[in-house]
Amino acid sequence: MQPNLDIYGGAERVCHHVMKTLVSHGQKVELLTFDFDAGRYRTIMGEEIPKEVTVNSLGTRMEVSPPFTIYKKHHQLVYLFKRFRNQLQYDYLFSTQSASPFEPVYLSRGKKNIAYVHFPEIHDSYYRGSFKRKAYLWLFKRWVEQGVKELDFVFCNSKYTKTVIEKYWARLGVSDPAVVYPPVDLKAFWRDTPLSQRKLKVTYVGRFIPAKRHDYLKRLASECPQYEFVSIGGLMDSEKEWFNAFTQSLPVNYKVKPNLPRPELIHELQESRMYVHLMEGEHFGIAPIEALASGCVTLVHDSGGQGEFVPEKFKWKSYEDLKQKVTKYMDTDRDRDWEIERSVIWKDIAKLNPDTFEAAIWSHVEKVVS
């Protein structure tokens, strides 16, 4: 189960390789998703969906408007789950989008329920929120907990996420989630062009939503006119109003490229001197790893799971700290220093490849289904 496979993101890539894993081990796989377009899927993933996978479309994803947005979406999703429940034939349910695992409740025919959890967003938002926020999320949180209690095995994407899951979900029966870092196609992104031969360009990849903080790059562009800046990311219809407002009056040295085909994304990274990741509390962050493979000096915020593979000197804490580091590492005389740093980093990130991911996923799934 993966509702959204029409945008470039880590959850979508995880789903793709989970399906490949299951197919390669002789499992019959049925996919339940919205808006499936085989051509767009191929463009985003860089390869076809496994031909052995049966695709069950939930139809066109319906947009909803405030108030009570998450409750309206939940109502629609539950209606569709119930409609499809008797059409699906399966022994095990594997959800790869699972921040809110409703599937085990409404598609409750499997022997076991498995989930790859990117982050327990609802519980984190509830317990960190204001009284008003808690009141809004209270019922939704209860619904999430019904699904969590039905999970038999949980994967997660980083040690950071594992800690947060255990904090909120241990009392619901989830213990010792297995950390399996998301797969990165390192070979496709690899480039060793020296910094001095690259453009004075800073790139950022993240979905076009407010939480990804593309506004930081826009501000950097206005304050550092000597460099180029590029924002890349998936854009959904539900965010177009915000996106249209955000892209008003852009600095001349700042380009915004939504829904960029994968070959063009790779090209942008491989010709950039620097990559900055702007979200605070990123759960893992595939894009910074892709940037490192592409040869970019990579800066990430000092929070979340992305720092598990990035040295302290390349982490930033405030906007001014970020700006200072951008200026520092744009220095054209840093080729030798960066090559030494990158060779050390590479020893750690080299294991974040699809083969390692698929082997780790199957080593656990095999025990669950045996």
Residues 249-279: tens digit of each pLDDT: 999 999 999 999 889 999 999 999 999 999 9
Averaged pLDDT of the chain = 90
How confident is the model over 148-164, as pLDDT tens digits?
A: 999 999 999 999 999 99
205: tokens are 């990849």
Domains and CATH numbers, the chain: 10-183+353-369 (3.40.50.2000), 186-349 (3.40.50.2000)
Q: What is the pLDDT of residue 1?
A: 53
Q: What is the pLDDT of residue 75?
A: 85
Sort 340 into a burial class: Cβ within 10 Å, 0-12 / 13-18 / 19+.
Answer: exposed
The percent of residues in the chain predicted with pLDDT above 90, rounded, is 62
Cβ-proximal residues to 259 (8 Å cutoff; 6+ apart), any chain: 7, 8, 234, 235
pLDDT of 111 strictly over 80? yes
As a three-state string, the secondary structure of 331-353 is CCCCHHHHHHHHHHHHHHHCCCC
pLDDT of 45 strictly over 60? yes
Q: 186-190, 197-201, 328-332: which has the minimum mean pLDDT?
A: 328-332
CB 217 within 8 Å of CB 206: no
Q: What is the pLDDT of residue 357?
A: 96
- 58 vs 123, more confident: 123
Phi, psi of 91 (to 5 degrees): -105, -30
pLDDT of 110 strictly over 80? no
User: Using 50, 70 and 90 to split pLDDT, how confident is the model at 41?
Assistant: confident
Q: What is the pLDDT of residue 307?
A: 81
